[in-house]
Amino acid sequence: MKKTERLANLALAGLTMAPLVVKVEPNLNVILTACLAVYVGCYRSVKPTPPSETMSNEHAMRFPFIGSAMLLSLFLLFKFLSKDLVNAVLTAYFFVLGTIALSATILPAIKRFFPKHWNEDLIIWHLPFFRSFEIEFTRSQIIAAIPGAFFCAWYASQKHWLANNILGLAFCIQGIEMLSLGSFKTGAILLSGLFVYDIFWVFFTPVMVSVAKSFDAPIKLLFPTGDSARPFSMLGLGDIVIPGFKAFHVDLCQSGWLGPSPGSNGLGKGGCGLARPMNTSTCVLFFANDIVIVVAKVGIFVALALRFDVSRGKESQYFKSTFLGYTVGLVLTIVVMNWFQAAQPALLYIVPSVIGFLAVHSLWNGEVKPLLEFDESKTAVGKQEGGEDKSSKKEE
């Protein structure tokens, strides 16, 4: 881990704990927390081997429609069923996901203290009555899951804002680390679709606001304001709930928790994301859920730029431009939100900013073609074939 990565991890931890002892200006807290979460997740996404599962263009095109269906389904659930019942089910759901996300987040820091075979030897467990469904895990993962389970139990019993924030950040970091868009073309298609999705559900329907106000789960970060009338400003986390199970199944397969599901098509959709910061002067209780993706989906686009730089063996030039675009878009969202005293669809500002900064930078360098031709799935296949060729030569 580089020095800058360590500093980013420490800064994120310190910023998360800071409201316990000092008052932190909510808008500044929103910007710093979101940017640090993206930065940490991006560098954790750089692996020795490229990701084997990536999102296709077809899946990227369908994603906003699936998200819309899921968002509307949640709206109907809250409308026709007891809010307490739905939230109780969601609490149990997030207890499981939270334990896995926290254990996966802390595992890289503690696994070096364990014997090598604890990290490598897989234990395979078949579910009773569902023998085709198997779970793969290591001893190290079991040990990492113990503090995660206790932490999630604390969250479920107390619903403390600090527990909520730590779980939310774990979801964000794991989403950015594990998921891959595969190519910049796929990323542009996905973000363009979500750009329209965000504007439609925020400006033209009451669905998102209604679901957001009813949702009691760690799909938002809470920033204490110090005002008893308006205790928290909120930063929403999207794309965790539904179809989050498929997303986390892909994540768990990649991280070694679950075996591959029958008929798996490698669809890497899911993760989590930043929706929109809340208006701190009116404390509008508004945050996105489901598929309004800014941290994870824009975050994995920024992470793709970093891995593109790494694959070329060059300094992180395009990562810097996309990360700067993300920061500018987020700041612009907050400025406009406070200016108009109303919630804004963050993707309206962040998507053009991120894609625009990357496009201008690549045009300036005359490297549009290699950027558009970059495909992580082909890179992964090429490296595998290269490894097989080397092994066959050794045998000869």
* Per-residue pLDDT band at 369 (split at 50, 70, 90): very high
216 in active site? no
Q: Which of 6-15, 118-127, 165-174 has the lowest mean pLDDT?
A: 118-127
- Say which of 239, 251, 290, 389 is annotated catalytic: 239
- Residue 135: Cβ within 10 Å count: 13
pLDDT (average), residues 318-345:
87
Does 203 score more than 90 pLDDT?
no
- Total residues found in the chain within this entry: 396
- Say which of 84, 121, 198, 227 is annotated catalytic: 198
| Structural domain that includes position 254 | 3-390
Distance CA 113, CA 115 (A): 7
290 in active site? no
pLDDT reported for residue 358: 95
Between the CA atoms of 142, 143, 147 and 152, what dihedral angle is there, to the nearest 10 degrees? 0
How many domains does the chain divide into?
1
CB 286 within 8 A of CB 343: yes
Q: Which of 119-123, 206-210, 246-250, 359-363 has the lowest mean pLDDT?
A: 246-250
pLDDT (average), residues 120-124:
84
- Is 204 a domain residue? yes
- Is 58 a domain residue? yes
pLDDT (average), residues 125-134:
74
- Is 396 a domain residue? no
| Better-predicted residue by pLDDT, 345 or 300 | 300
pLDDT reported for residue 245: 28
| Better-predicted residue by pLDDT, 345 or 173 | 173
- Is 169 a domain residue? yes
Tokens of 231: 């205790």
Averaged pLDDT of the chain = 76
- Is 395 a domain residue? no
* Residue 138 per-residue DSSP state: -
Does 318 score more than 90 pLDDT?
yes
- Is 232 a domain residue? yes
Distance CA 122, CA 138 (A): 5
Q: Which of 154-163, 336-345, 383-392 has the lowest mean pLDDT?
A: 383-392
The reported pTM is: 0.79
Site of tokens 């800014």: 294
Distance CA 61, CA 57 (A): 6
